[in-house]
Copies of this chain bind each other. A is one copy, B any other.
């Protein structure tokens, strides 16, 4: 975790105290059920909850000190709780194993992280939707291969992003349900020493599903899938970030990241407004994505379990969720406050001398009976002149002066093919698909 790329709500999930709180809740809920089953005295859970209701501080340092001796984190925690609660605490953890606590805790943490990420996506979607509707009919040039193609609207660009992040939201919801399972199945997962009803009880209390079969640990294919989804979302963040970086290029300058008055772009070049937020997002996307492969390498645990996954998850659990949370929030801010320059968009659109309308002419020629190959040749020879003039010549004027062209299409026909609105006839159809009201 790098503090400058972290927000408090997500970071809090991963702090030791939050983890210990979840540990306690799991142990206490389990003890409660064990009490009902008559395995331990019902008074045990009562004692635990009574202490808990005093809203006690979790003394992380004290627990760490015990762990330094026992070299076992859960035993250290249980020992510390027993010191606080007293004799009744010895019934805690009956028939359970450390992994029951650790893995169910990770499930709670990842589920909470998912809730924040889903909320992040909702806010990002709201920002994109607002700006998309604002610019639904703002003309701009569509580009393929970085080369001017045909007109689109700036709203369409954002509608694409909206559709993409809507899919990301669905994936995030699915990823949440992948990892939100509870396992309290004891050593090697046989329930030999802990009744399955304990698992069901804890799961219900924590809002988790029951893990159908665990082998002491929750299977790591679930976590691999979870981090893979974060990697896909990060890649979508990268895509939109790169779009903004392109739009802000000096020669394009169709949009800019918001530039706050006090901000200095460069120590040396005061005129510069650099797309540093979206460049940063490009890097953060790489960071989130870097969790995917190790998460997949974690799947193949040996036999019923080994602990090779644990150190990996201590890194990628916090890093990938905290970084993606930060990135989504930053991207939301970028889109929300993006400076959009419609005049410049129009200026860029027109700078090619009308070449972007060449496909329409091509179609009109074939529809007028010219063969595909001839039509292509006619358009190409005029288009090339415009291209080489760097926009100084006008394709429309050249076509009007080309007798082979005018033999098939009248000047009026040709002019009609250079109408911008023609390209936007289906914008509303697309918006209706993407933004179901």
In angstroms, how far is the closest chain B Cβ from the Cβ of A422?
Answer: 6
Is A276's CB under 8 angstroms from B307's CB? yes
Pairs across A and B, CB under 8 Å, 12 listed: A72-B263, A72-B266, A160-B215, A164-B219, A167-B222, A187-B268, A192-B426, A228-B292, A250-B352, A253-B390, A271-B380, A279-B306
Give the complex CA separation of A33 and B189 in angstroms: 58
In angstroms, how far is the closest chain B Cβ from the Cβ of A95?
Answer: 6
Is A246's CB under 8 angstroms from B315's CB? no
Interface 1/0s, chain A 143-158, versus B by CB < 8 A? 1111111111000110
Is B292's CB under 8 angstroms from A312's CB? no
The A contact surface, by secondary structure, is helix
Is B94's CB under 8 angstroms from A297's CB? no
Residues of B within 8 A of A379 (CB): 270-271
Q: Does A84 contact B (CB under 8 A)?
A: no
In angstroms, how far is the closest chain B Cβ from the Cβ of A233?
Answer: 8
Q: Does A252 contact B (CB under 8 A)?
A: yes
In angstroms, how far is the closest chain B Cβ from the Cβ of A348?
Answer: 6
Residues of B within 8 A of A352 (CB): 250, 271
Is A312's CB under 8 angstroms from B294's CB? no
Is A312's CB under 8 angstroms from B286's CB? yes
Is A290's CB under 8 angstroms from B300's CB? no
Residues 220-273 of A at the B interface (beta carbon under 8 Å): 221-222, 224-225, 228-229, 231-232, 234-236, 238-239, 241-243, 245-246, 248-253, 260, 262-264, 266-273
Given known A171-B225, A311-B283, contact A72–B264 (CB-CB < 8 A): yes
Residues of B within 8 A of A314 (CB): 2, 4-5
